[in-house]
Chains A and B, each alone.
Chain A
């Protein structure tokens, strides 16, 4: 904790349109830009999933108009097998990188982390601006794969080598498309590294007077822990992508073994390692799961506390558990590789921390649930999504028990069980975190309230819909239904087609419900009721300022923090809460035992 004036970035309110809205140095504008990018990405990703789901259920049906997107991939509207895989790759890549990482971490984090620690901006605003624009370029490069060469890559978001490394000989999109994918992800890594640096420095150096580490809201802790993960995980994926690009353009053989024969042609490569890519990718890939979910854990805690009108049973244990998740996430990545050909002894070694990681995850869930005990729970769109997050996190979490065990992974690996597991625990839970944050912070970000009735309708359709989509995935997996197939032509999986049709209908309806959210977002932005400074009667610093906050956050003053972040349930006070910057003397509310 330091005197902010010595370190904070000094810049004045911009006046030109370009400096104010496009190449802005303001962390709040950059946060909104990240959120906007994620919003565009999530609807593209969702539309792609609609196409995929429709094709899986009615493989031989034409999708009117699809030929306009790709005349080669869908001649006459009929999706080809390779185009299905290309869409699948793009869906996964868009969602994991440009939605689940971008919105909860870079979007909300940029907007609220500096404010919640009492800073007027990030320490390196130019890096911050670069981080967004590099991410934006990364997104454009990825999207360009739809329109150049022979389409996007088909090797999945995990881009396993050597399929991803040998070039166009391995199939459509594996040449130019795969190189564009690798360039896009390498750029994305650079963007996230710059962002993570800013987050860490802001947290450590720019806290205002009185904002001790333990007085930081759980959201700040979540973003701080996530940025520590980001700094180490993306630093591994970046060189991996560079090596992959070199295998394509420079004729190197980092990921290509000797003596491979495709189409009766022996490849000129030698000496590379197939498993090297998997190790590098998953060393990033598993922390990435927590990069997506830990900000959600912070946001849900923050919102739940506000709506329970009481602090969690333990602030410190919650922070410790988020830290433990992050720390253990580096030791568990091998559980993605149990049947990869890695030494079977390594499988057992990776299995143990994977099972152990369920302990901090369980403690987090127990603290949420048992903090509800005796609370005064308020139900609104934000708290509904926060509670929905807990339900999803539990449902997705318990299937982790199965996949953590190498002996069960022999059967369940690469089945829809895995698809159900990661969609629930990472994708949908993280999306629920994004919705929670949106309904909660929208008034602060825009100065307008969102429509609560539409918010609740959106919640009900999404909550029931996501269970209808993703719970049956587990049943399919248990029955042995293999993932990443564009059609189920073999005898075994034919009888399961009915379940796929059910899932597809649920996906189309749940996806349509997301248009309610979009409408609410846009309509409320322009027509929503004006937001007061503190509509939720919350305690953290973002609620001490007008909605939306002024350019320099605190009007040139440096707030002084007197209290722990969640002082709710104050007896004898006119309100039941005391804000962090209130000089009022109170007995600190703690539930720690």
Chain B
């Protein structure tokens, strides 16, 4: 039975690695300028974790195979080097590995969070609420109107609680249910929630950030591939959570300009 168990562990270990090596269920294609850093880090981690996984499982299986069912009078063997060799190996191998992953991983994290948005980045505001995202563009004046939570009235399409009658900055604001952005142009996404915790996740953009009620957060990113992608909520927000999504359309600058003009006309 021990030998069968050893073979089972071996087969499971190899079988688990196959879909990864064959890219059976791959990550979706990256469309962001910071994404390659994340993808590279993912590949490095996969290699290191994969080797650790296979090595541990195969050695475990081998020892089960070799040292089970030995006769009662067999002599107990001793692993050369003993525990200290293992402790040193763990510190050296895993220590170096985690240090390397930590140091290189910081680059990808810094690319998203520690660099300020470019001065000419395009501001887009996103508001999350049960169970929809709404987006706001500042209009020709480049200014967002002030949000008044008490004026939010979804029935009358005042999703952001704007007061255009008394607030000149709000007059030309463009509110949409879909997000569009020009390709190769940095977007500065200003995020807030109107009710509960939500999240903004676009797999292809390699971007995920929670909305925190009471906090204004921001992200900046540049998309370099034209296309239509899903924005999904990943923070449990209630019964409609599974259906809380919007689309991100990455367009050429010309298409974006005409899209924005069209949206402005629809307000």
Contacts and interface: CB of A to CB of B under 8 A. Distances in A.
B116 interface: no
A13 interface: no
Contact of B26 (A366, A369, A407, A478): A478
B38 A410 contact: yes
A395 B49 CA distance: 10
Contacts of A490: 230, 232, 245
A137 interface: no
Interface in A431-482: 456, 463-464, 467, 471, 475-476, 478-480, 482
Nearest to B129: A261
Given A375-B76, A387-B64, A398-B53, A341 B235 contact: no
Interface string A212-244: 000000000000000000000000000000000
A178 to B, nearest CB: 12
A563 interface: no
Interface stretch (A102-110, A164-172, A186-194, A521-529): A164-172
Interface-central residue, B71, B82, B239, by most chain A CB under 10 Å: B239
B16 interface: yes
Interface string A335-370: 000011100100110011001101100110111011
Interface in B216-234: 217, 230, 232, 234
A85 interface: yes
B67 A372 contact: yes
A275 B105 CA distance: 25
Interface in A305-344: 308-310, 312-314, 317, 339-341, 344
Given A264-B155, A480-B28, A359 B212 contact: no
Contact of B67 (A352, A373, A399, A569): A373
Contacts of A355: 98-99, 101-102
Given A264-B152, A387-B60, A478-B26, A160 B109 contact: no
A363 B86 CA distance: 7
Contacts of B161: 261
Interface stretch (B132-140, B171-179, B195-203): B195-203
Contact of B94 (A362, A375, A384, A499): A362
Interface string A243-256: 00000000000001
Contacts of B114: 344
Given A259-B149, A340-B210, A484-B236, A374 B49 contact: no
Given A341-B215, A569-B76, A379 B5 contact: yes
Interface-central residue, B41, B53, B197, B237, by most chain A CB under 10 Å: B197
Interface residues of B, number: 107
Interface stretch (A116-124, A266-274, A281-289, A552-560): A266-274
Interface string B64-81: 100111111010111101
B51 to A, nearest CB: 9
Contact of B83 (A257, A367, A399): A367
Contacts of A398: 49-50, 52-53
Contact of B53 (A82, A394, A456): A394
A339 B5 contact: no
Nearest to B61: A391
Contacts of B210: 339-341
A405 B112 CA distance: 14
A340 B217 CA distance: 10
B206 A377 contact: no
A169 to B, nearest CB: 9
B154 interface: yes
Given A309-B76, A410-B38, A484-B241, A339 B70 contact: no
Contacts of A155: 236
Contacts of B5: 379, 384, 387
A369 B60 contact: yes
B76 A376 contact: yes
B106 A348 contact: yes
Contact of A377 (B2, B87, B230): B2
Given A260-B195, A314-B83, A411 B208 contact: yes
A490 to B, nearest CB: 6
Interface-central residue, B19, B67, B98, B201, by most chain A CB under 10 Å: B98
Interface string B1-41: 11001001100100010011000111110000000011001
Nearest to A88: B236
B242 A317 contact: no
Contacts of B118: none
Contacts of A408: 38, 41-42, 45, 105, 108
A101 interface: no
B57 interface: yes
Nearest to B2: A379
B168 interface: no
B209 interface: yes
Contact of A405 (B63, B72, B101, B213): B101
A154 B82 CA distance: 50
A593 interface: yes
A148 interface: no
B113 A366 contact: no
Interface-central residue, B64, B107, B213, by most chain A CB under 10 Å: B213
Nearest to A576: B72
B83 A482 contact: no
B91 A359 contact: yes
Contacts of B48: 401
A478 B17 CA distance: 13
A377 B69 contact: yes
B215 A456 contact: no
Contacts of A568: 76
Contact of B25 (A463, A475, A482): A475
A374 B214 contact: no
B244 to A, nearest CB: 10
Interface-central residue, B48, B56, B235, by most chain A CB under 10 Å: B56
A414 interface: yes
A27 interface: no
B242 to A, nearest CB: 4
Ranked 8 nearest A-B pairs via Cβ: A374-B77, A257-B214, A593-B82, A314-B83, A407-B108, A344-B113, A355-B98, A414-B234
6 contacts: A155-B236, A262-B196, A308-B67, A351-B105, A369-B63, A484-B236
Given A260-B149, A482-B232, 14 more contacts: A85-B238, A162-B213, A163-B236, A163-B237, A261-B161, A274-B214, A274-B215, A309-B76, A313-B83, A376-B71, A384-B5, A482-B201, A485-B242, A591-B82
Interface of B: 1-2, 5, 8-9, 12, 16, 19-20, 24-28, 37-38, 41-42, 45-46, 48-50, 52-53, 56-57, 59-60, 63-64, 67-72, 74, 76-79, 81-87, 89-91, 94-95, 97-99, 101-102, 105-109, 112-114, 129-130, 149-150, 152-155, 161, 194-197, 199, 201, 203, 206-215, 217, 230, 232, 234-243, 245
